[in-house]
Structure 1
Amino acid sequence: MAPTFVLATQNTHKLGEIRAILAETGWLLLGQDDVVPGLAVEETGTTFAENAALKAEAVMHATGLPTLADDSGLVVEVLDGAPGVHSARYAAQGNHRANLDLLLRNLRVRTGGDFTDVKARFVCVVALAEPGKAVQYFEGSCEGRIIATPAGTGGFGYDPVFVPSGENRTLAELGDSRKNELSHRGKAFREVVRALFGRT
């Protein structure tokens, strides 16, 4: 029988992305809202790992099932690591467009509008919480740069302004398959697969 995991997120874009990354495992992947609808977990941690663990443990305790949760964010050098753990709620409105607009405004102020070398990286930490076991962590990152004008319609969040190293297109311009190969989330969840594959 295939192992069952709950994916602790209420973000439908993220849920779809994780399911695509893990599709070939044969695991039964339940969405958080499938098993504990309406459960909201406040992300009060100061690191990606702390926030991932908060979500994974809360959903695991509510369901009794092994739970995978990730916390991800964009770390921009010239902004001293911002938006970082606050990436999803960087702007007061907390939606993707407002977050992206605030990032670009802050970068224009900090760089004087010169986006020629705005280094950034996406970071993802996945926490696996299982009944009676210590939380396990898996990490992935994607190095790249920020461009001044959003490009592409795929992905979500900061994808339209992030160009991965070695690429000339944003994550939003890459197809899902290529994005998942390069992305921080894809790398972190492939670490999960390497650690857990073969479980029954």
Structure 2
Amino acid sequence: MTRKLDKTRLVIATHNAGKLREISALLAPYGIECVSAGDLGLPEPEETGTTFAENALIKAHAAASAANLPALADDSGLSVVALGGRPGVYTADWAERQWFEGEKGRDWYMAMGKVEGLLCEQGPEVDRSCWFSCTLAIAWPDGEEVVYEGRVDGTFSWPPRGTMGFGYDPVFVPHGREVTFAELDPAEKQAMSHRADAFAKLVAEQFAG
């Protein structure tokens, strides 16, 4: 039986304000108080994993150990069919930054441009299908862990559109829609996103019954 979260404080293992807002909103109905690793001044561990799950667990265990509280980490990214699944687990790395700049130093427009450039090299008929993946990992200070995975499929669109998202949201048009994630109302995006898919699985196991 999977271990359950207490109605308590939960460390969100991120320094990304956008992720903290989304995760806090998703957990608010369940009485969970969220605080970010950034707000606690916790260092960012080196993400040496080769899968979303490995990196999420690295971050969750580091935050749980440092804060002596349960921690939730999100590792997510964009995978493009025509690029063999890239950037994938290296999604954030494509938005290069200087070591001293922190999350705000990432250049997401440059990262989106890299994807577009590689797609253009394959010609105008290139397959622009892509998907966002999200892996959520919960870790407890004693080392116990659990993982949940979600996905949403869509199309890579250019040029970027919208101002309400973060990361690659301005170029991602989810299936069945004509607007990008960054053009959607945040509540509407949260209801259909890869993160929402993973959270639905987390909620079903953690808070049902």
The normalised TM-score by structure 2 is 0.88
* 1:194 matches 2:199: no
Give the 3-state SS of the residue equivalent to 1:57 in structure 2: helix
1:13 is matched with which residue? 18
CA distance in 2, matches of 1:198, 1:148: 41
Query: Could you tell me how far 1:54 is from its partner in structure 2?
Result: 0.3
Cα root mean square deviation, aligned: 1.7
User: 1:151 and 2:156 equivalent?
Assistant: no
- 1:151 match: secondary structure: coil
Residue 82 (str. 1) matches residue 86 (str. 2):
yes
The answer on whether the counterparts of 1:91 and 1:102 sit within 8 Å (CA) in structure 2 is: no
Name stretches of at least 5 consecutive residues in structure 2 with no aligned partner: 1-5, 98-105
The 5 Å alignment of 1:122-137 reads 122-137=132-147
2: distance between equivalents of 1:28 and 1:17?
13
**Whole-angstrom CA distance in 1 between matches of 2:42 and 2:204:** 31
Q: Return 5+ residue gaps in structure 1 as ranges.
A: none
Matched ranges for 1:47-66 at <5 A? 47-66=51-70
Structure 2 CA distance for aligned equivalents of residues 172 and 34 of structure 1: 25
- Give TM-score, length-normalised by structure 1: 0.91
How many residues are paired up? 196
Give the Cα–Cα distance (whole angstroms) in 1 for the partners of residues 85 and 135 of structure 2: 16
Q: Is the CA contact (8 Å cut-off) linking 1:88 and 1:95 kept in structure 2?
A: no
Q: What is residue 96 of structure 1 aligned with on the other side? A: 108
Distance 1:164 1:90 in 2: 21
Tell me if the contact between 2:152 and 2:192 (Cα under 8 Å) persists in the aligned partners: yes
Any idea what the Cα deviations from partners look like across 1:102-151, whole Å, max 9, x if unmatched?
111111112x1346x41100000001001335310001100111112211
One-letter identity of the residue aligned with 2:179: R
Alignment equivalent of 2:33, drawn from 22, 25, 28:
28
2:102 aligned residue: none
8 Å contact from structure 2 (residues 77, 88) kept in 1: yes
Paired AA for residue 99 in structure 1: A
